[in-house]
Structure 1
């Protein structure tokens, strides 16, 4: 008996998650990069540890946020920093972040694969929170000597259980550590091979079954929605 669930990647409207097209669609749909599923993260976890480390180094500094999304995380540092610039490739995210900007917060739309659109040594601190790893090829140039570069990226074992529990709906994770290897390669090519790197694993609890679907279909849509058959029996009798 085949117990696999249907593979959503086979749908004609499926976009590869985190592709330029996928980010563009998400920007048009929601105007922000925010996870639609409900979950709870155990402490400590990489997200809270990363935020704590940023807090220690950005006070009164000129800061770059690489892959800022709609800018909520960027703007949260406004009261601490001298100036902060949020960079993202998706213009609809940037438009969402701009209207409520404090004076010391700005947003720039650019693709990091073309390099960072900033002057040499423009920033004291740069951080990359789940943003494009291609930025590591150029980020050293725009950070002052003695400045700090911080990064946080999904690990190779992210949600590893889901492909075992829901085969077909979630594809198996690739063998080895391809995410880590790509990250290390980018750091090395960007002159940052001496970077410290550690893995932080914790537990995320999805709150209800629908959150599994919300996670898998994050950022996906069709023109009118998912088409399913609507069927009724209509009865009419003359007595």
Structure 2
């Protein structure tokens, strides 16, 4: 039986079958990657003195790509199979098994100058006052144009949104199977019928969307 999307078993299957936290469908973008703004903001805030905490690191692509630009790159995830891959891809980083709930593990209490979340987890926001250094920044990218819990949780811990970007890029999937896989990933089963109503010989057009948020402690 296929594991429920976004269950621990499902993430473990991604690690086993795809070699990491990767989208298991084919897509074609008709514009720039919608996460380029996140990449730019991340590199802008990295220095040889920056201490980084990454929430939901998956198989460690960001730690491998950006970690050598920081003084420290610590990260966590709750899927052992993904963490094992992350340790292979970025042996210089510091990885921990945690789901962002409950008490922060001692090794992740920082302080950190930059807290980042590329793959959607927002639980770390509740812990920002505990893990953040003075003048720290929080950088997030999520899979929709609006992610209300980000702003709500930032406000609850007294952090201010310094910048917010909504990116929408024209894209298409070539097959119905790809569209069904994406609908399951996004937990949007109601959109499956769009294939029958709107698909052409080139596939189904849709919008690839991202929300990028940069925040800092108020005051």
- Name the CA shift for 1:31/1:75 in 2 (closer, same or farther; >3 Å): same
**Superposed CA RMSD:** 2.6
User: Greater Rg, structure 1 or structure 2?
Assistant: 1
Does the CA contact (< 8 Å) of 2:120 and 2:143 recur in 1? Answer: no
Tell me the residue number matched to 2:202: none
After superposition, residues 205-220 of structure 1 pair within 5 angstroms as 205-216=172-183
Tell me the residue number matched to 2:117: 128
Does the CA contact (< 8 Å) of 2:53 and 2:108 recur in 1? Answer: no
Counterparts of 1:190 and 1:19, CA distance in 2: 28
Structure-2-length-normalised TM-score: 0.72
Tell me the residue number matched to 1:52: 40
Structure-1-length-normalised TM-score: 0.66
- The DSSP-based 3-state class of the residue aligned with 1:132 is coil
Tell me the residue number matched to 1:188: 155
Tell me the residue number matched to 1:75: 64
- Name the CA shift for 1:215/1:58 in 2 (closer, same or farther; >3 Å): same
Counterparts of 1:87 and 1:48, CA distance in 2: 23
**Aligned counterpart in structure 1 of residue 29 of structure 2, from 20, 41, 46:** 41
Structure 1 residue 52 displacement after superposition:
1.1
Counterparts of 1:106 and 1:200, CA distance in 2: 31
Does the CA contact (< 8 Å) of 1:27 and 1:91 recur in 2? Answer: no
Counterparts of 2:69 and 2:26, CA distance in 1: 29
Counterparts of 1:211 and 1:127, CA distance in 2: 29
Counterparts of 1:180 and 1:101, CA distance in 2: 30
Tell me the residue number matched to 2:143: 154
- Name the CA shift for 1:217/1:185 in 2 (closer, same or farther; >3 Å): closer
Counterparts of 1:72 and 1:218, CA distance in 2: 20
Counterparts of 1:39 and 1:71, CA distance in 2: 22
Aligned length: 184
Does the CA contact (< 8 Å) of 2:120 and 2:142 recur in 1? Answer: yes
Tell me the residue number matched to 1:223: none
Does the CA contact (< 8 Å) of 2:151 and 2:161 recur in 1? Answer: no
Structure 1 residue 42 displacement after superposition:
4.0
Structure 1, gaps ≥5 residues long: 1-11, 157-178, 220-239
Structure 2, gaps ≥5 residues long: 187-219
- The DSSP-based 3-state class of the residue aligned with 1:126 is strand
Greater fraction strand: 2
Structure 1 residue 29 displacement after superposition:
4.3
